[in-house]
Structure 1
Amino acid sequence: MKTCIKLFFCAFVIICIYACQKDIILKPVAYDNKLSIECILYPGKVPQLFLYTSVPFFNTNTTPSQLFARGATASITGNTIDNLVVDSIFDNFRCRWVLFYKGFVPSQIGQTYNLLVNYSGKTYTAITTISQPKVNINKVSYISNFHDIYGGHEGVIVNFNDIAGSENFYRFQLNRAIDSSVYGASNLGLIHSTCTNGSKFYIHEFGRSIYFDKGIDGQVIEFVTEPAYLHQLDDTAYVFVQSLDKNSAEFYDNLDKQKLAQFNPFIEPVFLKTKIDGCIGVFGSIVVSDSVLFVYPE
């Protein structure tokens, strides 16, 4: 009798589970593709314009080669007109090609630049001036564990003096050489290079967070950033502080807040505000400090 009751109960539970299951077919709605434009000028370097098309969420095209906006014309005008051409670089960490439009004229501090992009019958324009000051790093240190919204993790601490008398925006940068044995940290998905076979290659880490000097003009600024790649004792790196123009700072700050809102329900969702009319993107500039050698203590 007890066996029959148990069998009946199990059958009842199974029926209830299947009765609650319902397949829903999502009909894709019409999607209006937007162009994505990202062009950050660095003094002393030629321009690189990353031009990509956006796709619906469930689209399988996700690599830079698949999303690259081919057939565009682009120019950057300062003292001269710099007509950009298609170029590419191999991403040794993710083992894929990254395409972009490359210029020939190095950018200069104090210069105003106009970006002009024509793609698929539409024209996009933007302007930026490289006028932000370069800071000097006082010191770089390390903390084995600090806590933020993502939990507890290590961090590299940068200490420097804010430039007084102007509105400034800062971001962390770290350059180092790694090989295929080095994994990305959790924010990179714990992956590693599968195509370099132990050979060294350079990576550039850019911090997610943007730091504003509002209310602390001219004072000492110190911030901590989690490394994007794993490391071992005595690994060496070079640390920089980036000084961003206002448009770039606001754009990347919104990107960071979008991610924070995904992890913390108490943070209000942020809609990404474009800095170029008619598309998603930003045209700006970054001035990079001199480097400071950093040796990982663990």
Structure 2
Amino acid sequence: MKLHKAGAAAAAALVLALTATACGGDSSDDSGSGSGGGGKIAIGIKFDQPGLGLKTPDGTFTGFDVDVATYIAKELGYDAKDIEWKQAPSAERENLIANGDVKFVAASYSINDERKQKVDFAGPYFLAHQDLLVRADDNSITKAADLNSKKLCSVTGSTSAQNVKEKLAPKAQLLEQGGYSECLTGLENKTVDALTTDDSILAGYAAQKEHAGKFKLAGLKLSDENYGIGLKKGDTKLLGQINDALKKMESDGSWQKAVTANFGPAGYKNEPAPAIG
């Protein structure tokens, strides 16, 4: 009799467990649904770009791309605490999207025809330009041609540096480093004369407290870089949702507030918010 009761209790427990699983499921990761509802969402950002996407020593994340992505996530139904930030190096952005590791990528991701073959882009949400960062007291570089007698620094494999070297100042002495921090050190120590990449990235570095007053942007527009939100190709529903979120961010003033907070200390003169879509 006792054995019969124990077996009945176990069977009842099993039925309850199966029912709960069928009805509720596991809500710990909702990154694929885009519906919010208390789940999680994985978003790709840069971890090493001050002003855009930076993981701080205390483990928090700051930057304009972080602010934009957080706003989009909110409009999709997710709280900030529901976001799982994933590092998205430039060479890995398409793979992260294609493999479903992230819902979308916001990582100074310039829209171009080659990338559009692999992913879809919402936006653009920011218009950047290739520019130069120089020392604050250096007035000798006012145009790209002035670099012909100067030492130019950028990161290894940079398309920005090659653009200057091949098209704008072929006699510039190009020095390639592993990271922008090495270029900044060289710029401060006067072993190089200028650093080149997107002006938004340069402004982010110049705006850091430890660099306050040391550097300035030359204000040259050497290329147009439209930053977009990368997402899985063919996901038209999510594309529309993100575009709607970006439009709302601009109209309610949150976009300009984020620009000012992240780039303002560098005296960066941003372009107006670009037209979405």
TM-score range normalised by the length of the shorter chain: under 0.3
Q: Which has the higher strand share?
A: 1
TM-score normalized with structure 1 length: 0.25
- Taking structure 2 as the reference length, the TM-score comes to 0.26
Q: Which has the higher contact order (CA 8 A, sep 6+)?
A: 2
